[in-house]
Amino acid sequence: MKNVLVVDDDENIQKMFKDILEVYKYRVIQANSGKEALKKYMEAKPDIVIMDILMPDVDGMRTTKKILKKDKNAKIIVVTAVGKSGLEKDCIKAGAKAFLMKPFKIDDLLNAIQKVSGGE
C-alpha cells in the first residue's frame, strides 16, 4: 500500500482527498501547511505528495522546492485552484512531476499518481 502525503490548508479538501484515495487503497498522511508538510515528509517518506499552491505560511511552490532539496527523488503532484497562466510551467520547473487543476476528474488524479510512481 502506497503512502500519499496530502498538503492542503482547506480541511474540506483534505477530507475529500482522504475519501478518494482510501477508496483506491492508498494510505493518506495529512499536512495543512507548508511547514508541516516538510516535517511529515521527512518523518514518513511518502511515495507521493499532493501539493496545494495557495497556503498561508509557506506556499506550495516553496514547499515543493524545499522537499526536493531534502530528497531529489520526491514525487510531487501539484493540485491547485489557482488559474494563473504559466503556473503549470513554473511548477514543473520547480520540480513537480505533474500538475492538475481543481476541480479534476478522479481518473486524471489516479493516472497522474500512477504515471509519477511508474518508475519503480
Positions touching another protein (CB under 8 A) are 9-10, 12-13, 15-16, 19-20, 23, 54, 56, 81-84, 101-106
Residue among 1 and 23 whose Cβ is closer to another protein: 23
The values of phi and psi at residue 78, to 5°, are -85, 130
Residue among 38 and 53 whose Cβ is closer to another protein: 53
Work out how close the CB of 96 gets to another protein at its nearest, in angstroms, rounded to a whole number. 18
Q: How far apart are the first and last CA of the chain?
A: 14
Kindly tell me the sign of the dihedral angle through the C-alpha atoms of 92, 107, 42, 35: positive
Work out how close the CB of 102 gets to another protein at its nearest, in angstroms, rounded to a whole number. 4
Work out how close the CB of 98 gets to another protein at its nearest, in angstroms, rounded to a whole number. 16
Nearest-angstrom CA–CA distance, 120 and 117: 6
Residue among 9 and 47 whose Cβ is closer to another protein: 9
Q: In DSSP terms, which residues pair with 9 in a beta bridge?
A: none
